[in-house]
Structure 1
Amino acid sequence: TDSILLVSGKANAWQTAKTNSAIQKITYSGKALQPFTTYFWQVKVWDKDGKPGSLSDIQRFETGMMDMKNWKGSWISDTRDIHLKPAPYFRNVFKATEKIRSARAYIAVAGLYELSVNGKTISDHRLDPMYTRFDRRNLYVTYDITQQLKAGDNAIGVLLGNGWYNHQSTAVWYFHEAPWRARPAFCMDIRITYENGSIETIVTGKKWKTSLSPVIFNSIYTAEHYDSRLEQNGWNTTSFVDSSWKDVMYRAAPSTNIVAQTLHPIRNVEKIETKTLNRIGDSVYVFDLGRNISGVAEITVAGEAGTIVRLKHAERIYANGRVDQSNIDVHYRPTDNS
Structure 2
Amino acid sequence: MKFLDLCKVYIRSGGGGAGCVSFRREKFIEFGGPDGGDGGNGGSVWAEAVDGLNTLIDFRYQQHFFAKTGQQGMGSQCTGKTGDDIVLRVPVGTEIIDEDEETVIADLTKVGERVLLAKGGNGGWGNLHFKSSTNRAPARANPGLEGVERTIWLRLKLIADAGLVGLPNAGKSTFLAAVSNARPKIADYPFTTLVPNLGVVGVDGREFVMADIPGLIEGASEGRGLGTQFLAHVERCSVLLHLVDGTSDTVVEDYNTIVTELEAYAETLGNKPRIVALNKCDALDDETVAELKASLEAASGGPVLAISGVAKMGVNDVLRGIFTEIDAARVVEEEPAPWHP
TM-score under structure 2 normalisation?
Answer: 0.24
- Larger strand share, 1 or 2: 1
- Larger helix share, 1 or 2: 2
Structure number with larger C-alpha Rg:
2
Q: Which has the higher contact order (CA 8 A, sep 6+)?
A: 1
